Structure formats: structure tokens, C-alpha cells
Amino acid sequence: MVRTRNGPRSNGMLPLLALHAASEYYRLDRKPPVTAGLIAANSLIYLRPAFLDPILPSLQEVWFNPHLILKHGDLKRFFLSPFYHVGESHLVYNMLSLLWKGIQLENSMDSAEFASMVAVLLGMSQGISLLISKSLLAFFDYEWAYYTEYSVGFSGVLFAMKVVLNSQTENSYVYGIPIPSRYAAWAELALVQFLVPGVSFIGHLGGILAGLIYIQLRGSYNGSDPLTVIIRGLTGVLKWPVRFLRRMFPFRRRQISGRGPIGGGQRGISVSGFWRCHACTYENSAWLDVCEMCSTNRRATGSANGMASPPSAHYSGDLPLEELRRRRMERFGR
């Protein structure tokens, strides 16, 4: 990976990620904004554009290391390390996983609840990883995880999200292999550790345990959790200027109308430049004074503004049923 002053260059995987994400969002009726924001944040931190480079800590300043976090109270390493990645393939693999999991989870709840869940899972997965490393040192004198291991990446949160997502189904797939959902995250943990040497086992384990704890806590809590309420409140404040502008400058969507008989409305009312004949219910252009279907005069139907007088059994231009049917057939058969 070649680094420039503004950040690493892309080897072609990031454009593919952007294209795939755009195509996925295009086909969705509801575009989950939090998932998109998380993908954008991770990608921008990796690319380090010129306007962000002066304010973003370096990778060396945010490595997750339990010893440095506890010794110096370094919360920057605790909270920011999930958003950093060591290479393009590392970033793209995690973001593809986030795209798939995020779309499903955010569309199954509202965005404020999803944002709250991600924040809780991030904090819990990091905290559990820290606790496991410290416990291994205290009870088993295992120093590697506490002093020597440095890790970054969003995969701990993704393992937690996988546990939450799997709790909604009975069966899941791990690399194409069908597995009961309760074991899917554990199977993936073992496979990833075997296939990708050097990944953080404790970080991934912390994510799985965080997901399990979150499910238990969420199941025992009725209503929205406090963090969700706070996020909804902040979102409402941020949306207020938009709502104010909409009230000041109301935008009216163009109404689309067409010809032919329609049901459910009051008979005789015109629709956007059309008038309805009360004799046959056919809607005619406002430019016409005679019904195209049955030749009834428009004045017999109602005034020029489209409001019709109630139909009468002896209106001018009354036609026999067979004649009206014949004219309809001729009209539609043209």
C-alpha cells in the first residue's frame, strides 16, 4: 500500500464497494441513512482526504491496546479504533459485511434505534475485549493479549450485529454452509480464525458476547432505551430547519390524472383539466364541449368549472343502453 500526503491510494476495491453500495441502495424503497453514514465514515477515515487529515489521529494513535488504554486512560483508542483499517481489503470486506447486516437490521427497526444499538454494541464489544485481556493477565499470567496485541477494525461490532441479526431467524449460512442461527457466529469465529491468521480472536469474541448480552438486555426492557430517546431528540432538532423551510415554501407534487371512468369520488367533479360526463362517466379534455364517448353536451353535464348538476333520468342527450354500449365498443376498438 503506497501512502500519499492525503492518505492511501485505492487499488480499485473502493470504487467497486461504492458501486455495489449505490446499486443496493437504488433498489431499496427505504434508504437506511445510519448504515450509509457508517460506511462513509469508515471510508473517509481510511482515505484521509485533505480537509480531514489535520484533525484525524494517525493509525498509531488509535490502535486498540488494553495496556495503553488502562495505563493512560486513553479513550481515543477505545472509541476510535473500530473506525480504522490497516488496508483496503480489510476495509472493503468489513464494509460489505456492514452493508448487508446494516440494511437488514436498520430496515427492521427505525434509524434512531439502530444507531443506538450500534453505539451500545461498539462500547460493549470494546469493553468486553478489554476485560478479557485484563482477566487473562490477572488469572493466567497471559501477557500477549494485554501488552503486545494491537488491533483496529469494525469486525468486533459486525460480529455483535451478526448475533442480533441471527436472533431473528432459526437458520443461517456461514460461507454458504447452513447452520442453526444460535451457532452461526461461533462457527464464523472459528472459520475466520483458521482462514485469516493474525486477526484479533479476542476482539471478535468480545463482539459475540456483546451481541448476546444486548439481546438479553433488550428482551427484558420495554419501550425505547434512553439512548434511542436521546438520538431521536437530536434527530428531531436537526430536522427542524428542514420542516421549517417546507412550511415556508410548500412543495406541491404534480398530480397525474388520466381519462376513463374512475371510482370512489364524487360524480361530476373534474380532475386537473378534465370534465366528467354524468351520462357515461367518461372524462374528457377541458378543451372539448361535447363528450367523446356519448356526444352529450358539456353544458348539460355541468358548468365549465367542472362541477356537475345531479344526474337526471330525463337529461338532454339521453341514450339507450344498447346505443351507449355500442359507442363504447367503437371508442375502445379504435
Q: Residue 180: beta bridge partners?
A: 171
Catalytic residues: 155, 204
The contacts found for 293-296 with CB under 8 angstroms, 24 or more apart, are: 293/327, 293/328, 293/331, 294/319, 294/324, 294/327, 295/327
d(CA 128, CA 85): 20
Q: Are 279 and 296 in contact (CB under 8 A)?
A: yes
CA pseudo-torsion sign 34, 37, 41, 47: positive
- Dihedral pair phi/psi, residue 258, rounded to 5°: -150, 175
d(CA 49, CA 37): 16
